[in-house]
Amino acid sequence: MSQLSSQFEEIKEKNQTINAYITFSDLSDNTSNGKLSGKTIAIKDTISTAGLRTTCASKMLENYIPPFDAHVVSLLKNQGATILGKANCDEFAMGSSTEHSAFGVTRNPHDLERVPGGSSGGSAAAVAGNLADLALGSDTGGSIRCPASFCGIVGLKPTYGLVSRYGLIAYGNSLEQIGPMAKNVHDCALLLECISDYDNRDATCVNTKKIKYTEHLDDDISNMKIAVPKEFFGTGTDPKVEETVRNTIDKLASEGAIVEEINIESIKYSLAAYYIIAMSEASSNLARFDGLRYGLHTGKSKDWNELFSNNRKSGFGFEVKRRIMLGTFALSSGYFDEYYIKAQKVRSIITNDFKKIFDKFDAIVGPTMPTLPFKLGEKLTNPLSMYMSDIDTVSANLAGIPSISVPCGYSDNLPIGIQIMSSHFEEKTLLNLGSKIEQIRGFDVE
Partner 1 sequence: MLSNDFDGVKIGLEIHCQLTALNTKMFCNCSSDYRGKPPNTLLCTVCTGLPGALPVLNKRALEAAIKIGLALNCKISNNSNFFRKNYFYPDSPKNYQITQYDKAGGEAIANNGTVETNLGSVRITRIQMEEDPGKLQYEGSITTSSNTLIDYNRAGISLVEIVTEPDIVSPKHAREFLNTIQSIVETIGECDSKLDGSMRADANVSISDGRRVEIKNISSFKEVERALNFEITRQKTIQAASKMETRHWDDVRRVTVTLRVKEDEEGYRYFPDPDLPPMNISENYIDEFRQSLPELPDKRLKRFTKEIKLSEEIARILIRNKIVADYFEETLTHEYNPKLLSGWIATDIMGYLNRNNVEFSDLPIESKALASLAKSVSDSKINDSTAKAILLKSLSSGTTIGDLLKSELDNLVSFDDLPKIIDTVISDNPKALEDAKNDSQAIHFLIGQVMKVTKGRANHSKVKELIETKLK
Catalytic residues: 44, 119, 143
| Interaction of residue 61 with partner 1, rule CB under 8 A | yes
Q: How far is the CB of 415 from partner 1 (least distance, A)?
A: 31
Q: What is the CA 206 to chain-centroid distance, rounded?
A: 20
Name the residue nearer to partner 1 (CB basis): 150 or 289: 289
- Name the amino acid, one letter, at 408: C
Q: How far is the CB of 102 from partner 1 (least distance, A)?
A: 15
Q: How far is the CB of 201 from partner 1 (least distance, A)?
A: 6
In this chain, which stretch among 108-116, 222-230, 235-243, 324-332 interacts with partner 1, using CB under 8 A? 324-332
Distance CA 409, CA 110 (A): 13
- Name the amino acid, one letter, at 152: G
Name the residue nearer to partner 1 (CB basis): 24 or 308: 308
| Interaction of residue 333 with partner 1, rule CB under 8 A | yes
Name the residue nearer to partner 1 (CB basis): 164 or 435: 164
| Interaction of residue 81 with partner 1, rule CB under 8 A | no
- Rounded to a whole number of angstroms, the CA Rg of the chain reads 20
Q: Can you tell me which of 328, 351, 385, 411 binds partner 1, judged by CB under 8 A?
A: 328
Q: For the chain, give me the number of helices (H) and strands (E)?
A: 13, 11
Contact 182, 149 (CB under 8 A): no
Name the residue nearer to partner 1 (CB basis): 209 or 300: 300
Q: Can you tell me which of 28, 332, 352, 439 binds partner 1, judged by CB under 8 A?
A: 332
SS3 113: coil
| Of residues 38-57, those binding partner 1 (CB under 8 A) | 47-48, 54, 56
Evaluate the CA torsion angle 35, 80, 144, 9 in order and state its sign. Answer: negative
| Interaction of residue 385 with partner 1, rule CB under 8 A | no
Which helix (H) or strand (E) element contains residue 321? helix 318-331
Give the pairing of strands 40-44 and 134-139.
parallel
In this chain, which stretch among 124-132, 183-191, 304-312, 351-359 interacts with partner 1, using CB under 8 A? 304-312
| Of residues 161-180, those binding partner 1 (CB under 8 A) | 165-170, 172-174
Evaluate the CA torsion angle 257, 258, 259, 264 in order and state its sign. Answer: negative
| Interaction of residue 284 with partner 1, rule CB under 8 A | yes
Nearest to 270 by CA among 408, 421, 379: 421
Nearest to 397 by CA among 316, 438, 359, 343: 343
User: DSSP label at 434?
Assistant: H
| Interaction of residue 208 with partner 1, rule CB under 8 A | no
In this chain, which stretch among 78-86, 200-208, 220-228, 414-422 interacts with partner 1, using CB under 8 A? 200-208
In this chain, which stretch among 34-42, 267-275, 287-295, 350-358 interacts with partner 1, using CB under 8 A? 287-295
Contact 164, 108 (CB under 8 A): no
Beta bridge partners, 86, equal 23, 43
Q: What is the CA 43 to chain-centroid distance, rounded?
A: 12
Applying CB under 8 A, the residues found at the interface with partner 1 are 47-48, 54, 56, 61, 64, 66-68, 70, 165-170, 172-174, 200-204, 280-281, 283-284, 287-290, 292-294, 304-305, 308, 328, 331-334, 336, 340-341
